[in-house]
Chain A
Amino acid sequence: MAAITAESRPRLRPGVRLVFDATRGTRVLLYPEGVLVPNETAAEVLARCDGAASVARISAQLAEEYDGVEPGDVLALLGRLAERRFIEVVDIEVVDVEAGTDREATDG
């Protein structure tokens, strides 16, 4: 897997789900044989890992809503999440061209 850069489009790996748990009143990350309770920052980042938004875009979105968001910190956090195999980077080569071209053009 390639290293994550500002242009990468991260998404949750297959079998990984971010859900709200009413019992604990917090979002939890569910994955094979495990549960992670992410802190608020990590949860906000994970919620935006949809395979469409780039890391730069995720950082920009977070900066609009929160003070003190450093793109370097977001990148480092995503690097750690990728290392633990919660997220993966979408390989741009395999993006479905027919479905993806228009959106990429408008989303960019």
Chain B
Amino acid sequence: MADVSPPLGLLAELTYRCPLHCAYCSNPVNLAAYRDELSTEQWADVFTQARELGVLQLHLSGGEPLARPDLRELVEHAHGLGLYLNLVTAALSLTEAAAAALAAAGLDHVQISVQDADPVSANAIAGVRGHDRKLAAAGAVKRLGLPLTANVVLHRGNLDRIAEIIDLAEAMGADRLELANTQYYGWGLLNRDVLMPSRQQLDRAQRVAAAARERLAEKMTIVYIVADYHADRPKPCMNGWGSRQLTVSPNGEVLPCPVAAVIDDLNPENVLRSSLKQIWYASESFNRFRGTAWMPEPCQSCPQKEIDFGGCRCQAYQLTGDAAATDPVCGLSPNRGLVDAALAAAADAGPAPAPAQWATRISPRRMPRAGTVGE
């Protein structure tokens, strides 16, 4: 088995509750299964264990982490442990007072999602009128002297406004801008046909982003995350399975990546039953795709196998039903045809329909309890 180093980061998905309804959300589609969230004490214990395990970066995310009334308390505890604290938020309820309280408790950095540069479109994509409140929250974060990241998920409906989006991030005073093309998981996979951009849109966006990165180099770091369906080689997903980061879901499930629960036979462990250390080093789920021994051809003999790690296990599972298959995005995969077919289907779908026609995610509070729907 591969040598396992301590994890660098923990993504704590405190809750999947969220006031937004973005169609590209990568949260699980079966949100109702995550209604029973860890308590304050249980999360605090997870953070303590994580720091002892070697975690340095804690990403407080969701859903909307501000939906947890104990967020300030959790920040205080995690800061006391020496963790670097990133808040990943939609920021609708991040008032001046809320931001100040979190900063005083030890928050290090805030990442605010923005849906578009045009307020009408932004509110339509989010399914809620929140754009102005996000901009106000960004101002509060900057006045507190905290570093700010603006995070924008790109898709067919907003890619053509990428220049305006970059201008907006600059006006917000963002120190970092993440321009992340949609990755198709969870609700995003359900909406793939309406979210998928054209190659022309992507080519233009990439040029605009590259020029802006150069122009704004001393002011704002721009991270551009490519659309992997349109690429010929897969993304180095998570820098390899179980290599640097772990995710804890609202209900305590521990996963090698935030969407790994889609792999039906993964059988993730839970912090309520095992220690984080045991799960990181010894669990079947974390060891399953570590290293390269598990790889089939064409990965096994590929010179790129230590560079892209065979791509994304979840994408392989979602598209082929086999989590160990080469990521079908790869031009060498025997299943690349599945990706090409998805691209063709999206191209045939014509211009992007209005967001009102997208399958929008709903909050787990509004869903029936797990076990009463579906299976």
Are A and B interaction partners?
yes
Interface residues of A (CB under 8 A from B): 1, 13-15, 17, 19, 21, 23-24, 28, 30-35, 83, 85
Residues of B44-66 whose CB lies within 8 A of A: 52-54, 56-57, 59
- B54-A23 in contact (CB<8A): yes
Chain A residues lying within 8 Å of B9, measured Cβ to Cβ, are 35
Our pick among B147, B176, B221 for the contact of A14 (Cβ within 8 Å) is B147
- B109-A24 in contact (CB<8A): no
- B218-A32 in contact (CB<8A): no
**Is B145 interfacial (CB 8 A cutoff)?**
yes
* Known pairs A15-B109, A17-B84; A32 contacts B149 (CB<8 A): yes
Our pick among A1, A13, A30, A83 for the contact of B84 (Cβ within 8 Å) is A30
Q: In the complex, what distance in Å separates the CA atom of A29 from the CA atom of B8?
A: 12
* Known pairs A14-B146, A14-B147, A30-B84; A35 contacts B108 (CB<8 A): no
**Is B236 interfacial (CB 8 A cutoff)?**
no
Q: In the complex, what distance in Å separates the CA atom of A31 from the CA atom of B86?
A: 9
**Is B139 interfacial (CB 8 A cutoff)?**
no
Closest to A21 in B: B56
Closest to A33 in B: B86
- A15-B218 in contact (CB<8A): no
* Known pairs A14-B147, A15-B108, A17-B108; A35 contacts B56 (CB<8 A): yes
Q: How many residues of B contact A (CB 8 A)?
A: 24
Chain A residues lying within 8 Å of B218, measured Cβ to Cβ, are 1
- A24-B54 in contact (CB<8A): yes
- A32-B54 in contact (CB<8A): no
- A15-B54 in contact (CB<8A): no
Closest to B107 in A: A15
Our pick among A14, A23, A33 for the contact of B57 (Cβ within 8 Å) is A33
- A28-B147 in contact (CB<8A): no
Chain A residues lying within 8 Å of B57, measured Cβ to Cβ, are 30, 33-35
* Known pairs A13-B147, A14-B145, A32-B149; A23 contacts B109 (CB<8 A): no
- A23-B82 in contact (CB<8A): no
**Is B6 interfacial (CB 8 A cutoff)?**
yes
- A35-B8 in contact (CB<8A): yes
Contact mask for chain B residues 116-155; partner A; CB cutoff 8 A; 1 contact, 0 none: 0000000000000000000000000000011101000000
Identify 16 new A-B residue pairs, CB closer than 8 A, beyond the known A1-B218, A23-B53, A35-B56: A13-B147, A14-B145, A14-B147, A15-B147, A19-B82, A21-B56, A30-B57, A32-B86, A32-B147, A32-B176, A33-B57, A33-B109, A33-B111, A34-B57, A35-B57, A85-B221
* Known pairs A14-B147, A21-B54; A32 contacts B109 (CB<8 A): yes
**Is B308 interfacial (CB 8 A cutoff)?**
no
Q: In the complex, what distance in Å separates the CA atom of A41 from the CA atom of B108?
A: 26
State the Cβ distance, A99 to closest chain B Cβ, in Å. Answer: 18
**Is B160 interfacial (CB 8 A cutoff)?**
no
Chain A residues lying within 8 Å of B111, measured Cβ to Cβ, are 32-33
State the Cβ distance, B57 to closest chain A Cβ, in Å. Answer: 6
Closest to A83 in B: B217
Chain A residues lying within 8 Å of B170, measured Cβ to Cβ, are none
Chain A residues lying within 8 Å of B76, measured Cβ to Cβ, are none
Chain B residues lying within 8 Å of A15, measured Cβ to Cβ, are 108-109, 146-147, 175
Q: In the complex, what distance in Å separates the CA atom of A19 from the CA atom of B84?
A: 10
Chain B residues lying within 8 Å of A30, measured Cβ to Cβ, are 56-57, 84, 108
Q: In the complex, what distance in Å separates the CA atom of A15 from the CA atom of B111?
A: 12
26 examples of A-B residue contacts, CB within 8 angstroms: A13-B147, A14-B145, A14-B146, A15-B108, A15-B109, A15-B146, A15-B147, A15-B175, A23-B6, A23-B52, A24-B54, A28-B56, A30-B56, A30-B84, A31-B84, A32-B86, A32-B109, A32-B147, A33-B57, A33-B59, A33-B109, A33-B111, A35-B8, A35-B57, A83-B217, A85-B221
Interface-centre pick from B145, B147, B217 (highest chain A CB count, 10 A): B147
Chain A residues lying within 8 Å of B176, measured Cβ to Cβ, are 32-33
